[in-house]
Structure formats: C-alpha cells, structure tokens
Amino acid sequence: MSSATTVTGRCGTLSIDGTPVARLTQWTVNDNLDTSTEWGDSSTCGFTNRAPGRRGATIDCEGKYDTGGADALSLCDPGDVVALVCSSEGGPSYSFARAICTSFNVTVNPDTEEVIGWTGSFASDGEY
C-alpha cells in the first residue's frame, strides 16, 4: 500500500456566486442528518425505532485576506444567501445552489504580524 492513490487538497477551491475566492486555505463540509424520529412501541420489545428526517449541511471555510484577488470579505456578509461550490481536484466536490452565510470573522494580530485571516460559516438552504 502506498500513497499513490491518495488525494491532496492542493487544488481545492471555493466559489461564492461563481467567483473563485483568493487565498483559500481550507474548507469543510459537514453533511448531516438534521432530525430523526425515535419511538418505542409494543413491537420493539424495549428497543428504539428510528426513521431518518431532514438532511442539511454546514460549510466552514478559511483563508487569508488578499487585496489582489476576489476576497471572501467582499463577496458576502452574514445573512446573505449565495451559491457556494466547494471542490477539490480528484476529490469530493459539493455544490449548494443556496447557502446562507451564518457568520464571518476576521483575525488581525499586530503582535505577530501574521497575514490577516478570515473564517466563514454557511448553512445549506434546500437540496444540494
């Protein structure tokens, strides 16, 4: 077994409303079951039945501030509904026709003089 069949995030991208975000450092998609129904009855003999409910996804991303490219800071604000595409070369890709920006954070550290960073969180709205 070798690493020959593994996939890296080297060419990972994030697009907001069709515009690729510059200086992306990471994205995470959490595809989850938002709700499920649980019950017990005379047929379960003390065990629990479960039925799947609604699915949803949350998307977290981060990057570095860049005035030379399409920076996420200028592409959306919390409360905005955007089209979001998270992709990787040869790996998983996700397309959200509607995603709500739930938070957007900027980190500035004058002490270490690090490049200004940002993080954003989104929640899927509808089918994806």
What is the average pLDDT score of the chain? 90
Is the pLDDT confidence value at 1 over 70? Answer: no
- Exposed, middle or buried, 122 (CB in 10 Å: 0-12/13-18/19+)? buried
Could you tell me which residues come within 8 angstroms of residue 10 by beta carbon, excluding any fewer than 6 positions away? Answer: 89
pLDDT tens string 46-81: 999 999 999 999 999 999 988 776 667 778 899 999
Domains of the chain: 10-32+52-124 (2.30.300.10)
126 C-beta neighbours (distance < 10 Å), count: 9
Contact predicate 27/84, CB 8 Å: no
User: How high is the pLDDT of residue 9?
Assistant: 84
User: How high is the pLDDT of residue 122?
Assistant: 97
